[in-house]
């Protein structure tokens, strides 16, 4: 969890991994085993795999499902890999920015501070129109950074944004990031020709904006196969095409 515009980072959960000291004690007391694999890639180099649990051969120690790890007739032990959660509750305050939830493929390669830095970097580098688009760009930045560091596991993440994050990026001119976002929009408006500004003024009076207009598919069925390009050059090209059609 992140608050005060990313200045304070809080770890809300404990990773349920076989390397965790408490999980090791629980697994061994329940009759399970913990091991690591090693694969030589040259005479002087060996790649060491993650700690895993037997039965199940999993690199996590608590899961839903995984019958081979839990059902005795398949060689499992229901007391080793367990589905029992750890629950923490807290009150949301006005300075909370957002929560990031991610699977081990993310946090095997990024620590908490690096994950939050990905989100704030995406704010500075993108021209998202609203908080929903901005969260999507933030998630894409986290995924890309995990893959660039050669994550070999599943990479899944989500952001739960609070009002503080929305105000910081879009709605609070006292905020440095919010002011920056507003300046970007104003700069892009100033770059338009006089006739285009006239068209924009008319459209704005009707409640429709054309500056930085982007269409994001609402479902994966209609989404293009390649990643969305949020670069400034691509945004400008999309704007020109939209204006030419009009």
> Is 88 within the bounds of a domain?
no
* Residue 226 domain-assigned (yes or no): yes
Edge-to-edge order in the sheet of strand 2-3? 8-9, 2-3, 96-102, 157-161
Domain count for the chain: 3
Residue 40 resides in a domain = yes
Q: Are residues 8 and 65 in the same domain?
A: no
pLDDT tens profile 158-214: 999 998 888 888 876 444 444 444 444 444 445 555 555 555 444 444 443 333 333
Q: Both 114 and 178 in a single domain?
A: yes
Instruction: Count CB-CB contacts under 10 A for residue 129.
Output: 17
Per-residue confidence band for 142, with pLDDT thresholds at 50, 70 and 90: very high
Confidence label for 11 from pLDDT (cuts 50, 70 and 90): confident
- Structural domain range at position 243: 191-246
Could you tell me if residue 172 is inside a domain? yes
205 and 220, same domain (yes or no)? yes
Question: What's the CA gap between 239 and 246, in Å, rounded?
Answer: 11
User: Do 197 and 244 reside in the same domain of the chain?
Assistant: yes
Q: What is the distance of C-alpha 34 from the center of its chain? A: 30
Judge if 7 and 121 occupy the same domain: yes
For residue 239, name the pLDDT band (cuts at 50, 70, 90): low
Query: Does the pTM of the predicted model rise above 0.85?
Result: no
Q: Are 80 and 16 in contact (CB under 8 A)?
A: no
Lowest mean pLDDT among 46-55, 144-153, 177-186: 177-186
């Amino acid at each position: 969890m992140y608050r005060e515009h990313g200045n304070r980072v809080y770890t809300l959960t404990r990773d349920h991994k076989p390397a965790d000291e408490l999980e090791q004690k629980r697994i061994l007391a329940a009759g399970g085993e913990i091991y690591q694999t090693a694969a030589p890639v040259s005479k002087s180099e060996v790649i060491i795999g993650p700690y895993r649990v037997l039965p199940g051969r999993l690199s996590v120690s608590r899961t839903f499902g995984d019958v081979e790890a839990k059902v005795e007739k398949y060689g499992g032990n229901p007391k080793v890999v367990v589905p029992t959660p750890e629950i923490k509750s807290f009150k949301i305050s006005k300075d909370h920015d957002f929560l990031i939830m991610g699977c081990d493929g993310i946090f095997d390669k990024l620590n908490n501070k690096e994950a939050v830095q990905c989100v704030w970097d995406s704010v500075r580098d993108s021209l998202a129109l609203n908080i929903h688009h901005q969260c999507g760009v933030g998630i894409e930045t986290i995924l890309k950074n995990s893959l660039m560091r050669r994550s070999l596991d599943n990479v899944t993440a989500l952001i739960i944004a609070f009002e503080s994050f929305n105000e910081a990026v879009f709605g609070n001119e006292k905020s440095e990031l919010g002011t920056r976002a507003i300046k970007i929009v104003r700069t892009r408006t100033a770059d338009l020709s006089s006739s285009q500004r006239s068209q924009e003024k008319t459209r704005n009076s009707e409640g429709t904006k054309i500056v930085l207009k982007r269409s994001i598919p609402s479902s994966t069925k209609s989404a293009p196969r390649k990643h969305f390009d949020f670069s400034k050059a691509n945004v400008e090209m999309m704007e020109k095409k939209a204006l030419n059609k009009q």
